[in-house]
């Protein structure tokens, strides 16, 4: 008993499993695992649950629309869309919380690494210098995103010091970010296949390009020459070898980390390890059946009407980057409905041969559209026949015939014939509605205005996201699409805009920069024709105006979390709507 009491009183024990900064950083693997932890936060901080959501939903291209019983969510998505947000809206406070969390991780690592002996861990002093520069650069990038959203913000560079940091003026924050990026750029590792997913020298230069491009808004002083200077550093391969991709998909494919030649800075993905784009907030409920994947969406964000219709009929981006419409696609792309059910799940594949709606259009082939579609039918020889076809967007006989085939698909035909025989129903609605008493159902002439597309949508309203094609589960790189923060295309557009701001109009160099990028969005025969010029697809110094440059930025960078910042820089962000 005495022995028991004695042992209970002896509290001076050695903890054998405790890890501290003094005993953890012993090897290169341990050092790099701590560094890498700072990047695992980046998707939460900068993605569609952080910076990306408010950047897109407060602009004019994406909307989290209210679709029947789905998507209202206390009205918060509508408040973002109509610029009537409150401080309690998740999309407003979450970026602040998550980006500062990312900054905290970096501050902690920088604190720890200050006293680590890299040579003992099998690394060099130069390795330490490069890693410290990388972390400082990533921290500055985070601060730039906070400054963009919130303006005046606190600056903290050490964990817990001070406990209640003062708010700094936006101009002071700008100066801090600029100095940190310039210092980081000196020592960051150059761009390579191994550093694209890290804050490398090209990332530092690209961040400075973004900083200077928006300098007039963020600091009150134009910095066009500095913007052009850093663009040239990247274009001239001073940060590492880089070149424009030859097609519109390489930068976003599930092999983009391997095959793209233009990526400067990305969020590295590995679906098997749980780090991937996961388009749940952008995907339709049954998108797994449309694309043959293994994920389901919640049918949240869709493209606004004006954003989708900004692409002309020859633009390949319109057919590759979206799920929309009726037809056989264009070029080598076919992501138009009605969609055959190609689910890899045999149980789901057996339900129907077409992908069917589950809400307002339950049992009917799903077709993504912005305007109503109605078919008047009759039953002839146990087959559904369309006798009258109403579709402002897809009036062709081809569209009617494709829909008629889908109406005769398994399950759908049974449903329609039963309704026809029992209720005499000869009208099949496939999108929207022709009659409504809802005061917010605006006339179709107004539906091209993005301000009127949040409320009273349907499950199939709007073009759906497909810019990042994750592939199929059988693909070796399934879901391994790196999310792009910067690519060479950003730099071409930034340089072109900076030159236009200085000269007041598009010069030959400006036209060349934008056309060089845009040409890959069109088939060569069309691009080289007079028709491409007449349609303003291929620019001249007359047709490339500031408004057109903003429009083309919208078309090229949709889904890349840049639109809000662009609209503010072009003084197009604010608007007024009666009643909101």
Query: What Cα–Cα distance (Å) separates residue 279 from each residue in 258, 300, 335, 358, 385?
Result: 21, 10, 17, 19, 37
Entry field: residues in the chain:
580
274 located within any domain: no
Q: What is the pLDDT of residue 370?
A: 86
Look at residue 433 and tell me whether its pLDDT is greater than 70. Answer: no
Query: What Cα–Cα distance (Å) separates residue 460 from each residue in 368, 413, 508?
Result: 5, 20, 43
Q: What is the pLDDT of residue 204?
A: 98
169 located within any domain: yes
Q: What is the pLDDT of residue 14?
A: 65
- 460 plus 359 within the same structural domain: yes
Q: Where are the beta strands (DSSP E) in 115-223?
A: 153-154, 167-168
- 166 plus 311 within the same structural domain: no
Q: What are phi and psi of 527, to 5 degrees?
A: -55, -35
Give the domain-ending residue among 450, 465, 480. 465
Instruction: Summarize pLDDT for 172-185 with one digit per residue, the tens.
Output: 999 999 999 999 99
Q: What is the pLDDT of residue 577?
A: 45
Look at residue 448 and tell me whether its pLDDT is greater than 60. Answer: no
Work out the pLDDT band at 445, boundaries 50, 70, 90: very low
Look at residue 548 and tell me whether its pLDDT is greater than 80. Answer: yes
Work out the pLDDT band at 434, boundaries 50, 70, 90: very low
407 located within any domain: yes
Q: How far apart are CA 320 and CA 471, in angstroms?
A: 13
Look at residue 330 and tell me whether its pLDDT is greater than 50. Answer: yes
Which residues, listed in sequence order, are joined to residue 483 by a DSSP beta bridge?
267
From the list 470, 442, 477, the residue with the least C-alpha distance to 456 is 442
Number of H helices, E strands in the chain: 25, 11
CB atoms within 10 A of CB 362: 10
116 located within any domain: yes
Mean pLDDT of 264-277: 91
92 located within any domain: yes
- 457 plus 557 within the same structural domain: no
From the list 374, 369, 390, the residue with the least C-alpha distance to 308 is 369
- 316 plus 455 within the same structural domain: yes
- 455 plus 551 within the same structural domain: no
User: What percent of the chain shows pLDDT beyond 90?
Assistant: 79
CATH number for 159: 1.25.40.390
Q: What is the pLDDT of residue 435?
A: 37
Q: What is the pLDDT of residue 454?
A: 65
Look at residue 469 and tell me whether its pLDDT is greater than 60. Answer: yes
From the list 45, 138, 36, 32, the residue with the least C-alpha distance to 94 is 45
Look at residue 535 and tell me whether its pLDDT is greater than 50. Answer: yes
386 located within any domain: yes
- CB–CB of 378/372 below 8 Å? no
Q: How far apart are CA 421 and CA 351, in angstroms?
A: 23
User: 174: exposed, middle or buried (C-beta count within 10 Å: 0-12, 13-18, 19+)?
Assistant: buried
Which residues, listed in sequence order, are joined to residue 265 by a DSSP beta bridge?
486
Mean pLDDT of 127-150: 98
- Name 185's Cβ contacts closer than 8 Å, sequence gap at least 6: 133, 137, 201, 204, 205, 208
Which residues, listed in sequence order, are joined to residue 303 by a DSSP beta bridge?
62, 463
Largest CA distance in the chain: 101
Give the domain-ending residue among 419, 442, 465. 465
112 located within any domain: yes
Look at residue 29 and tell me whether its pLDDT is greater than 80. Answer: yes
Look at residue 7 and tell me whether its pLDDT is greater than 70. Answer: no
Average pLDDT, the chain: 91
Look at residue 444 and tell me whether its pLDDT is greater than 60. Answer: no
From the list 173, 303, 195, 320, the residue with the least C-alpha distance to 248 is 320
User: 31: exposed, middle or buried (C-beta count within 10 Å: 0-12, 13-18, 19+)?
Assistant: buried
Give the domain-ending residue among 465, 500, 531. 465
From the list 269, 316, 249, the residue with the least C-alpha distance to 479 is 269
Range of the domain at 156: 27-188+545-580
Alpha helices of 214-323 — where are they, by DSSP H? 215-219, 224-235, 256-259, 287-291, 305-308, 317-320
Look at residue 66 and tell me whether its pLDDT is greater than 80. Answer: yes
278 located within any domain: no
Per the model's pLDDT, the better-predicted residue between 437 and 543 turns out to be 543
User: 546: exposed, middle or buried (C-beta count within 10 Å: 0-12, 13-18, 19+)?
Assistant: middle
Instruction: Summarize pLDDT for 377-398 with one digit per residue, the tens.
Output: 999 999 999 999 999 899 999 9
Instruction: Summarize pLDDT for 278-319 with one digit per residue, the tens.
Output: 888 899 999 999 999 998 899 999 998 889 999 999 999 999
Look at the chain and report how many structural domains it folds into: 2
């Amino acid at each position: 008993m005495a022995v028991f009491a004695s042992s209970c009183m002896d509290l001076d024990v050695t903890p054998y499993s405790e890890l501290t900064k003094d005993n953890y950083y012993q090897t290169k693997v341990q050092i790099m695992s701590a560094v890498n932890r700072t990047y695992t936060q980046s998707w939460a901080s900068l993605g569609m649950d952080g910076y990306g959501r408010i950047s897109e939903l407060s602009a004019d291209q994406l909307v989290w629309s209210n679709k029947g019983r789905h998507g209202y969510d206390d009205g918060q998505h509508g408040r973002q869309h109509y610029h009537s947000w409150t401080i309690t809206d998740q999309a407003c406070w979450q970026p602040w919380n998550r980006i500062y969390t990312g900054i905290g991780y970096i501050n902690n690592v920088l604190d720890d690494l200050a006293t680590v002996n890299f040579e003992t861990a099998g690394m060099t002093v130069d390795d330490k210098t490069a890693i410290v520069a990388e972390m400082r650069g990533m921290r500055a990038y985070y601060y730039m995103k906070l400054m963009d959203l919130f303006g005046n913000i606190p600056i903290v560079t050490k964990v817990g010091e001070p406990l209640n940091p003062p708010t700094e003026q936006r101009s002071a924050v700008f100066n801090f970010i600029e100095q940190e990026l310039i210092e980081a750029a000196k020592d960051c590792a150059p761009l390579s296949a191994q550093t694209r997913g890290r804050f490398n020298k090209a990332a530092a230069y690209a961040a400075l390009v973004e900083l200077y491009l928006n300098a007039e808004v963020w600091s009150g002083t134009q910095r066009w020459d500095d913007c052009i200077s850093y663009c040239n550093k990247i274009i001239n391969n001073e940060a590492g070898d880089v070149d424009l991709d030859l097609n519109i998909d390489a930068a976003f494919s599930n092999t983009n980390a391997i095959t793209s030649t233009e990526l400067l800075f990305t969020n590295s993905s590995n679906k098997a390890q749980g780090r991937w784009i996961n388009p749940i907030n952008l995907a339709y409920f049954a998108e797994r059946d449309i694309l043959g994947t293994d994920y389901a969406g919640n049918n949240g964000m869709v493209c606004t009407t004006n954003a989708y219709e900004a692409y002309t009929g020859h633009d390949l981006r319109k057919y590759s980057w979206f799920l929309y419409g009726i037809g056989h696609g264009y070029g080598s792309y076919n992501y138009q409905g009605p969609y055959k059910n190609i689910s890899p799940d045999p149980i789901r594949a057996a339900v129907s041969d077409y992908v069917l709606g589950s809400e307002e259009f339950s049992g009917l082939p799903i077709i993504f559209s912005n305007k109503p579609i109605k078919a008047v039918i009759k039953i002839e020889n146990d087959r559904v026949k369309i006798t009258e076809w109403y579709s402002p967007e897809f009036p062709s006989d081809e569209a009617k015939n494709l829909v008629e085939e889908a109406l005769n698909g398994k399950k759908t035909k049974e449903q329609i014939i039963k309704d026809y025989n029992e209720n005499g129903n000869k009208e099949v609605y496939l999108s929207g509605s022709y009659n409504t008493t809802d005061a917010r159902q605006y006339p179709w002439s107004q539906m091209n205005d993005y301000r009127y597309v949040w409320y009273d949508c349907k499950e199939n309203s709007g073009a759906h996201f497909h810019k990042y094609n994750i592939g199929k589960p059988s693909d070796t790189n399934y879901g391994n699409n790196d999310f792009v923060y910067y690519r060479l295309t950003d730099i071409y557009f930034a340089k072109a805009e900076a030159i236009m701001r200085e000269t007041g109009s598009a010069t030959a160099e400006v036209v060349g920069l934008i056309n060089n990028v845009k040409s890959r969005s069109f088939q060569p025969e069309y691009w080289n024709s007079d028709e491409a010029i007449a349609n303003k697809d291929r620019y001249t110094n007359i047709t490339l105006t500031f408004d057109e440059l903003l429009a083309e930025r919208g078309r090229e960078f949709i889904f890349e979390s840049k639109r809000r910042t662009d609209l503010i820089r072009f003084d197009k962000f604010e608007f007024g709507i009666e009643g909101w």
